[in-house]
Structure 1
Amino acid sequence: MAETGMAPTEKAPYTLNRATGDLADGAAKLAQEIGSTGVEALLAQANRTAARRGAAGALGSMKPRPAEWYAFDAKDQDTADWYPQGLTCGEESGSIGVPVFVASWYFKPEAGERGIRVSFLSPRTLKYQHALLVAAKPDGSYAPINIHAGGIALDGDLLYVADTFKGLRVFDLNNLLDLRTAQNDLGDPTRIGRHRGKFHAFGYRYVIPQTDFWKLAQPGPHFSFVSIDRSGGTPQLITGEYWEDDPGGRVAHWDLAFSGGEPNEVFVMGHPKIQGAISHGGKWYLSQAANATTNGKLLVYADQKLQTRPFPIGPEDLTVQDGKLWSVTEFRNKRVIFGVGL
């Protein structure tokens, strides 16, 4: 199949239905027992430090370099267990009161599944903190969520997480839970959930339970990444799919506040290996990957005219903050959050 550019296609396959089940009840019980905190409070005591313009190997041959970038610390650079995927920010949320980036990571080993986590990073202080995303149960316990988490987006306090084969999982940041408010320590770093009256989260201090789920009515489309466009009149949620060697991957536009059903419009992107997409100011921006040693590309469509721009190695999901387009890179020792001009 040849590369074609952005072309409209049918919407019906993307129909999403709400499937809350007992997720909200489980999250509410957990929040009542542990107690919630806020993003600003989390950032105030964040336990890791990013390096401004560090891990420059992530940029490869990119010229000009990004306007700004922040590298995760040495431990997060080197781990072969966790890989960054999704990216969102406070400006995308529209309601978080401080500048912040939020990046999602998935746990790669097949054994000892630890699910997915998010990192809250302050571009002001360079401090950041991980939080584990979990599925709460009505009995007050919780479990890891084994998905790729290839993209995330914030609308108000609602964090949308792409679930490749099912749709969109939703996490409410009002349920950002600090285990230190419920007990003196962080429990057993090898366990997850409630055991003998104590909470455990593989050593993480913060957990965020899932509160809602939007599931595909029929299997077929993939939900590989997600973003938000606030540049027009009605904010739009964007979902899209990654295809390795096929340019037939699609992106969809949905009105916010999100209510499921069919999207407003769906386009075939016409390029393979798209890891993130966002519309902004009448343009489409597509993040195209290559491999662990080769620079990716930023594909920009304006009035169906394509411009190809340089991008780092391993670019993923996209978001907009402070008039810049931001992404995150995934490969070991090349893990940065970076911003370029729109």
Structure 2
Amino acid sequence: MAASGMVPTEKAPYALNRATGDLADGAAKLAEEVGSTAVEAVLAAANRTMKSKGAGAAMGSMKPKPALWYAFDDKDQDTADWYPQGLTGSEDSDSIGVPAFLVSWYFKPAAGERGIRLSFVSPKTLKYRHALLVLAKPDGSYGPINIHAGGIACHGDLLYVADTEKGLRVFDLNKVLDLRTAQNDLGDDQRVGRHGGKLHAFGYRYVIPQTDAWELAKDGPNFSFVSIDRSGGTPKLVTGEYQESAPNGWVGRWDLGMAGGEPADAFIMGHPKIQGAMSYSGKWYLSQAAGSGANGKLLVYSGDQLQTRPFPIGPEDLTVQDGKLWSVTEFRGKRTIFGVSL
């Protein structure tokens, strides 16, 4: 792979160990009480609407502009509390029965913590709905997860979420839990967990408990983004590290299903501010940011040849769906899902 333009590097620092602990037991306890629902049902109950080619400020000076983009609603555009980061889709999953995108958001305020949430988006209806990702215990308690969730990828029913300092958290999309099946209302929108005999999730109807984890065998590298390469015979999970100013962020690939240990291969990318990476049909696609006021870049390696393509402001994680490369933009008033040619 030296000809890819990415520099091969030692694989051992990125080795992962499975760390299920009591996560599966906690998720099973909560699912037994609440009952699970399908992703398709969440999409059918979507309560927000995206706007086709809205939030045009996200495109900045990009020429040509993407053929397709969808903007989150005004409330999600305006909030300073939640920032979109990760992106995956129904084609990555191959188990979700309708076209869909999934977007992760992290909660930013200095005071208080509401963790991370996941948006289920229909590109057909442009309707979407948020769900809260939670950590559940075998005693039936649960609470928010305080991580950046900079990237996500879905393989089958499993959702992989980047945990910056630890590795990967795993959520089972068969365990999307509808609190309305357990009680008549959604509880207090200022609370999470069990209070006063009711279940609360900051007002969200749906919660998804973590079921598994893959943690770094040794401290050191960070996990900033995740994607899945389905262009070869064996799907590969791609993950790696954002570095603000240094060009030596890494990227690695694991065969799926996950067996832990070292990645199949690992590379130093040679560029700072990489927010997402995707390998597909022999090429590498790198999403490079440039802050909230300047257009990012899409860096494409074919062999050792680098092509630099225009990209919107604030590009993040990457995924491939419907023959296009998709990403999500993060900044206030500029929050979109957009697709460009591969």
> Structure 2 length as normaliser, TM-score?
0.98
- Corresponding letter in the other structure for 1:172: D
User: Which residue number corresponds to residue 77 of structure 2?
Assistant: 77
1:315 aligns with 2:315: yes
How far residue 97 of structure 1 moved from its aligned partner, in angstroms, is 1.1
Structure 1: distance between partners of 2:191 and 2:222: 31
1:332 aligns with 2:332: yes
How far residue 335 of structure 1 moved from its aligned partner, in angstroms, is 0.1
1:221 aligns with 2:221: yes
CA contact (8 A) 1:160 1:171 kept: yes
How far residue 99 of structure 1 moved from its aligned partner, in angstroms, is 0.5
1:59 aligns with 2:59: yes
1:275 aligns with 2:275: yes
- Corresponding letter in the other structure for 1:6: M
- Corresponding letter in the other structure for 1:190: Q
Structure 1: distance between partners of 2:89 and 2:304: 28
User: Which residue number corresponds to residue 232 of structure 1?
Assistant: 232
User: Which residue number corresponds to residue 131 of structure 2?
Assistant: 131
SS in 2 for 1:27: helix
How far residue 272 of structure 1 moved from its aligned partner, in angstroms, is 0.2
CA deviations on 1:153-178 (whole Å, 9 max, x unpaired) are: 00001000000000000000000000
CA contact (8 A) 2:5 2:303 kept: no
- Corresponding letter in the other structure for 1:40: E
Structure 2: distance between partners of 1:261 and 1:183: 43
User: Which residue number corresponds to residue 284 of structure 2?
Assistant: 284
User: Which residue number corresponds to residue 118 of structure 2?
Assistant: 118
User: Which residue number corresponds to residue 161 of structure 1?
Assistant: 161
User: Which residue number corresponds to residue 192 of structure 2?
Assistant: 192
Structure 2: distance between partners of 1:277 and 1:238: 7
CA contact (8 A) 2:50 2:73 kept: yes
How far residue 258 of structure 1 moved from its aligned partner, in angstroms, is 0.9
CA deviations on 1:171-230 (whole Å, 9 max, x unpaired) are: 000000000110000001111001232100000000000000100011111100000000
Structure 2: distance between partners of 1:168 and 1:45: 29
- Corresponding letter in the other structure for 2:188: D
How far residue 5 of structure 1 moved from its aligned partner, in angstroms, is 4.4
Structure 2: distance between partners of 1:171 and 1:304: 36
CA deviations on 1:268-308 (whole Å, 9 max, x unpaired) are: 00000000000001000000000101000000000110000
User: Which residue number corresponds to residue 247 of structure 2?
Assistant: 247
Structure 2: distance between partners of 1:302 and 1:239: 19
How far residue 110 of structure 1 moved from its aligned partner, in angstroms, is 2.1
How far residue 260 of structure 1 moved from its aligned partner, in angstroms, is 0.8
1:180 aligns with 2:180: yes
User: Which residue number corresponds to residue 36 of structure 1?
Assistant: 36
| Superposition RMSD in Å | 0.8
How far residue 259 of structure 1 moved from its aligned partner, in angstroms, is 1.2
Structure 2: distance between partners of 1:180 and 1:47: 15
Structure 2: distance between partners of 1:65 and 1:181: 44
Structure 1: distance between partners of 2:48 and 2:95: 24
Percent identical among aligned pairs is 77
User: Which residue number corresponds to residue 260 of structure 1?
Assistant: 260
CA deviations on 1:12-39 (whole Å, 9 max, x unpaired) are: 0001001111100000000000011011
- Corresponding letter in the other structure for 1:54: G
Structure 2: distance between partners of 1:309 and 1:146: 34
Structure 2: distance between partners of 1:227 and 1:86: 9
Aligned length: 339
- Corresponding letter in the other structure for 1:271: H
| Unmatched 5+ stretches in structure 2 | none
Structure 2: distance between partners of 1:197 and 1:137: 17
User: Which residue number corresponds to residue 11 of structure 1?
Assistant: 11
CA contact (8 A) 1:5 1:268 kept: no
- Corresponding letter in the other structure for 1:156: G
CA deviations on 1:96-121 (whole Å, 9 max, x unpaired) are: 11100000000001211000001000
- Corresponding letter in the other structure for 2:251: V
> Structure 1 length as normaliser, TM-score?
0.98
